[in-house]
Amino acid sequence: MERVRERKLLSKPVRTVRTGLLAGGLGLLILFWATNAYRGVDLAVHEGNFEAGIEAIATAQEAKKPLYPESNAISLYLDRGMLNHYEGNYAESSGDLEEAERLIEDAYTKSISAGVASYIANDKAKDYAGEDFEDIYINVFNALNYYKQGKLDGALVEIRKLILSSGKLDMLSRKYEDGGKSAGDWVLEQLGKIGFRLNESLPQGAPMAYSGSALGQYLGALFFLADGNNDSARIAFDAVREAFVANPNIYKHPVPKAVEEARNVPEGMARLNVIAFAGLSPIKEEGEFTQSWAFMQNPELRAPIFKLPVFRDRDSGEHRVSVTVNGETFELELIEDMGTVAKETYNAKFANLFFKTYIRVLLKYAAADIAATQAGQRGGNFGAIARLAAANAARIAVNASEGADIRMGRYLPNKAYVGGINLEPG
């Protein structure tokens, strides 16, 4: 048991490594960020001053128009929870992340009982419900929060929410067991059979292929070892490799050697395991796309504009993370590309999102087409001018009423790295 207790994750030094990576990896992005609503928070994150970022959020929330309105409460708690984690305010981080998790659960319950009107309504007008990848990483970081506070039982509770049977990863796998097929996918397939084709400039989406988090399983294995539960640790270590095999769209790199090394510590040695996070995950931006609708009577309404979320990367690529212990240096290896997980899980909802947007814009444009035609018929000698004016005015009004829902947590890391070293006890 003494050797098991000495198998631990690196404590304070991990935060120092992570902070340096965040500060060093974001320098090229600051010119863009300085123009958006999150400027104060982004500047603080760029400088590695997470306490200032937390204060900037508090100040922005007191403004007449809060940075995070009530309809975006999930993003508020997720963002503040992540900055508190980076700053080492682990209890405060847990409180924020647990509230974000509760709101995500409430939103899911409400979505089940929602009717057709809610399905067609613009997502931007509804409360933000969170993303699958956000729900997963809430538990990952909350587990680390509890571990940092010396509360191994709390860390195990968070990990079990993820990796046990009927946990979040299992539910996510079953939710998309047919590759993420949805009602929207089916409708688009049927439209394709009658000759309907999406403009190639539109985001196309793809079936989701994600059924397990190697990072979550790896953490679970380490916590089980620390708890003396070797059988559960063995299962979790096996699940790390299974995640790599089952999710080739995400895990395009080798399984880290550190995984096997952590499960096979030489007799009489202790293991120091290190986890580091680098970069910032992609964020959604609004993209404008057009589609040809030749069936509209008025030419001005034949090129509708669709406003859809698109992901923008904020990380330059791979990072080199070296750790030195007792004069011996080793490099960490990539275990999970969290940014790719974000994009992959988002694919699962794209078809429904596009279908909702398509139907909503079609109804608005159809109503505008009828109204413009009627205006032309009533206009007498000035019918053509009346029709043109009505069509253009309606097009501008419809386009102004649409908007992509780009809400999400902004401060999750982009990549997770792991490594370790065997040491003499003590």
| Rg value, the chain, Cα | 25
Strand 283-290 with 8-9, pairing: unpaired
Which whole number is the average pLDDT over 386-405? Answer: 93
CA distances from 330 to 165, 223, 272, 277, 323 (A): 35, 22, 12, 16, 6
pLDDT above 50: residue 6: no
Q: Record the tokens describing residue 14, joined without a space.
A: 């991990």
- Helix, strand, coil share of the chain (percent; to 5): 60, 10, 30
Which whole number is the average pLDDT over 153-171? Answer: 91
pLDDT above 60: residue 251: yes
Helices within 36-167 (DSSP H only):
39-46, 50-61, 73-87, 90-113, 116-120, 132-148, 152-163
What are the phi and psi torsion angles at 170 (to 5°)?
-65, -45
- Tell me the pLDDT band of 56, cut-offs 50, 70 and 90: very high
pLDDT at 280: 94
How many whole angstroms separate alpha carbon 167 and alpha carbon 424? 37
Would you kindly state where each structural domain of the chain is located, as residue ranges? 2-423
| Span 180-230, pLDDT tens digits | 455 555 555 655 664 556 666 555 555 566 778 999 999 999 999 999 999
- Tell me the pLDDT band of 114, cut-offs 50, 70 and 90: low
pLDDT above 60: residue 352: yes
Q: Average pLDDT of the chain?
A: 84
pLDDT at 3: 34
Which whole number is the average pLDDT over 82-93? Answer: 98
What are the phi and psi torsion angles at 231 (to 5°)?
-70, -45
Burial of 170 (0-12, 13-18, 19+ CB in 10 A): middle
pLDDT at 171: 83
Burial of 68 (0-12, 13-18, 19+ CB in 10 A): buried
Who has greater pLDDT, 80 or 352? 80
pLDDT at 165: 81
pLDDT at 94: 98
Which whole number is the average pLDDT over 19-43? Answer: 52
Beta bridge partners of 306: 289
Q: Report whether 93 contacts 85 (CB < 8 A).
A: yes
Among residues of the chain, what percentage have pLDDT more than 70? Answer: 81
pTM of the shown model: 0.84
Of the listed ranges 141-150, 195-204, 254-263, 374-383, the least confidently predicted one is 195-204
- Tell me the pLDDT band of 60, cut-offs 50, 70 and 90: very high
pLDDT at 82: 98
pLDDT above 60: residue 61: yes
Which whole number is the average pLDDT over 338-345? Answer: 91
Q: Give the angle 320-337-230 at the CA atoms, nearest 5°.
A: 95
pLDDT at 379: 84
Secondary structure element (H or E) that encloses residue 305, with its range: strand 305-312
Of the listed ranges 89-98, 196-205, 270-279, the least confidently predicted one is 196-205
Which whole number is the average pLDDT over 370-377? Answer: 94
Residue with tokens 């603080």: 44
